[in-house]
Amino acid sequence: MRVTVDGSAVVVEPGASVLEAARAAGAAVPTLCFDERMAPFGACRVCLVGVHGPDGADTVVASCTTPCREGMVVDTHDPGARRVARAVVELVLSELPAAPARHTELAAVVRDLGVDGSRWSGAVHAERRDTRHPYLAFQHELCISCGRCVRACDEIQGAFALTAVGRGFDANVAAGIDAGFRDSACVSCGACADTCPTDAITELSLLAIAGATEDDSASSP
């Protein structure tokens, strides 16, 4: 099936998503809740793009969960889509106690979208850490509820140990019934830490290093 991305034609398999088409065309679409290893989730809205359908209607869609249609015209620079994506990331940042560490995927998205801090001030998450596991650490205050860890646990490992908990500002992630990794069904594979875009779940060994390099990352973004 043929679609057009930012003016160039690209051929994709039936069922391919708009995000896949965009990446096939070499367009850089930032994502936050997306991970190739898992089914698309469509939660974060950072991958928004403009779409001009064959019927002439212009819309903004989440590219990761929208399937391509024949003749679709995609604009990854659509100003409306970019403005909303930036606002979404600003809202995410507004709840965090500090700017995201430089090496994280969230920091990369912030850079890609050119977000400069957050226009909104308000409540930020208080530090809540769990370092009972010998390797894996929770930094709950950094959770942005993207659901990647929960889906990695389900769709990559199949342990079903992690759960999304709470609502609104209190939304977060828990192992088991907030029992910690060790007393849940966790098999310590670390897929959650691998996919986490903010270090809300990370490795204990990396926490120590993050402390050592904080000076470099504190100034960004």
Partner 1 sequence: MNDERFDTTVSTTCGYCGVGCRLEAHTRSDRVVSISPAADGPANRGHTCLKGRFAHQFSRSRERLTTPLIREGGELRAASWDEALQRIATELGGIRAAHGADAIAGLASSRATNEDCWAMQRLMRAAIGTNNIDNCSRVCHSPTSYALRASLGYSGATGSFDDIEAADAAIIIGANPTEGHPVVGARIKQAALRGLQLVTIDPRRIELADHAVVHLSPRPGTNAAIMLGLAHVAHRDGLIDRAFIDARTEGFGAYEELLALYDPAVVQEISGVPAADLERAAHVYGEAGEACVLWGLGVTEHKYGSEVAQLICSLALMTGKIGRPGSALLPLRGQNNVQGSSDMGALPDTYSGYRRVDDEEVAQAFEARWGVALSRRPGLKIPQMFDAAVAGTLKAMYIFGEDVAQTDPNTTHVVHALESLDFLICQDIFETETTRYADVILPASAFLEKTGTFTNAERRIQLVEAAITPPGDAHTDLEILRDVSRALGHELDFESPQDVMREIAALTPEFAGVTYERLGRSGLQWPVQADGTDAPILYEHEFHRPGGRAHIAALPYKEPGDAADEDFPLVLVTGRRLQHYNAGTMTRRTANLELMDHDWLEIHPDDAARLWIGDGDLVSVRSRVGRIEVEARVTERIEPGHVFTAFHFPEVRTNLLVGSSADVNTSCPEYKVVAVDVRPVAEEPSRTPALAGPAA
Q: Which residues bind partner 1 (CB under 8 A)?
A: 36-37, 102-103, 134-135, 155-158, 182, 187-191, 194, 203, 205-206, 209-210, 213, 216-217
Q: What whole-number distance in Å separates Cα of residue 46 and Cα of residue 60?
A: 11
Closer Cβ to partner 1, 61 or 159, answer by number: 159
Helices (H) and strands (E) in the chain, counts: 7, 10
Query: What phi-psi label fits residue 6: left (phi over 0), alpha (psi between -120 and 50 degrees) or beta?
Result: left
> Between residues 92 and 192, which has the closer beta carbon with respect to partner 1?
192
Q: How far is the CB of 181 from partner 1 (least distance, A)?
A: 10
Question: Which residue spans within the chain are E strands per DSSP?
Answer: 2-5, 8-11, 48-52, 58-62, 73-75, 129-130, 136-139, 162-165, 172-175, 201-203
Q: Return the DSSP state at 157.
A: I
Q: How far is the CB of 102 from partner 1 (least distance, A)?
A: 6
Nearer to partner 1, 84 or 135 (CB): 135
What's the CA gap between 191 and 152, in Å, rounded?
6
Q: Please, what is the minimum distance in Å from the beta carbon of residue 203 to partner 1?
A: 6
- Comparison of 6 and 203: residue with beta carbon closer to partner 1: 203
Supply the minimum distance, in Å, between the C-beta of residue 116 and partner 1.
21
Cα separation, 210 vs 139, in Å, equals: 13
Rounded to a whole number of angstroms, the minimum distance from the CB of residue 43 to partner 1 is 20
Cβ distance to partner 1 smaller for residue 6 or 194:
194
Return the structure tokens found at 206. 């990396």
